[in-house]
């Protein structure tokens, strides 16, 4: 007889040596994301996630040793639009990165989830650091590369502080959301135009 509270799929896997049930993996991550979104990191306990996913605590712990590991998996599994390919002029790449950023911020509960992670920064810095490593730093690096190329080609002033401009561009999205709510579709073009106007054809 199986132990009380054990998961049928996990029992079958243990008895027959079959791979883990991918549908249970998905249910666990979906339940963890929902708990994180609705109850914060403190409310995303292994026990609560197991109950919401319809499985046992041991089944969850076989996949994720603790809550930080589960939170990291949730962040890794977030459905985001991949960064654009590095093609076109430097300015075109910068605009594509910002447009991609706007679309990702519009997905689901991106802003509330970010707020949840920031609220836990002092207590669980490893969680927000996972978010930065996966989603923040790659975008900032690509944008910085485009700006540096713009400086090198004379499209931006030689004394441009690239890190400051990156902060201004990306930070404007958060500021717009806090002040007005939804970010307009043309916001990437508008905000980039303030620091990097599009080239104009020579007038003859």
Domain ranges for the chain? 17-77, 90-195
- Tokens 């043309």, residue? 186
Say if residue 40's pLDDT is above 90: no
Please state the rounded mean pLDDT for residues 148-176.
Answer: 97
pTM: 0.81
Segment (H or E) for 5: none
Q: Which fold has domain 90-195?
A: Tetracycline Repressor; domain 2 (1.10.357)
**Mean pLDDT, residues 23-50:** 92
Do the beta carbons of residue 119 and residue 174 sit within 8 Å? no
Task: Provide the pLDDT confidence category of residue 12 given band limits of 50, 70 and 90.
Answer: very low
The class of domain 17-77 in CATH terms is: mainly alpha
Question: How far apart are alpha carbons 62 and 58 in whole angstroms?
Answer: 6
The confidence score (pLDDT) of residue 10 equals: 53
pLDDT digits (tens, 9 = 90+) for 140-158: 999 999 999 999 999 999 9
Alpha carbon of residue 13 to chain centroid: 32
Burial 69-92 (b: 16+ CB within 10 A, else e): ebbbbbbeebebeebeeeeeebbe
């Amino acid at each position: 007889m199986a132990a009380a509270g054990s998961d049928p799929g996990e029992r079958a896997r243990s008895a027959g040596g079959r791979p883990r049930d991918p549908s249970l993996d998905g249910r666990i991550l979906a339940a963890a994301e929902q708990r994180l979104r609705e109850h914060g990191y403190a409310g995303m306990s292994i026990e609560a996630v197991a109950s919401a996913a319809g499985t046992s605590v041991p089944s969850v712990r076989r996949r994720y040793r603790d809550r930080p590991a589960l939170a990291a998996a949730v962040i890794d599994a977030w459905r985001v639009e991949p960064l654009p390919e590095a093609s076109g002029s430097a300015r075109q790449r910068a605009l594509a990165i910002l447009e991609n950023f706007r679309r990702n911020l519009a997905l689901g509960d991106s802003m509330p989830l970010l707020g949840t992670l920031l609220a836990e920064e002092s207590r669980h810095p490893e969680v927000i650091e996972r978010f930065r490593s996966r989603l923040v730093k790659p975008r900032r690096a690509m944008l910085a590369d485009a700006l540096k190329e713009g400086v090198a080609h004379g499209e931006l002033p030689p004394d441009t502080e690239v890190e400051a401009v990156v902060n201004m561009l990306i930070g404007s999205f958060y500021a717009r959301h806090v002040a007005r709510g939804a970010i307009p579709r043309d916001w990437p073009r508008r905000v980039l135009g303030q620091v990097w106007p599009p080239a104009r054809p020579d007038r003859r």
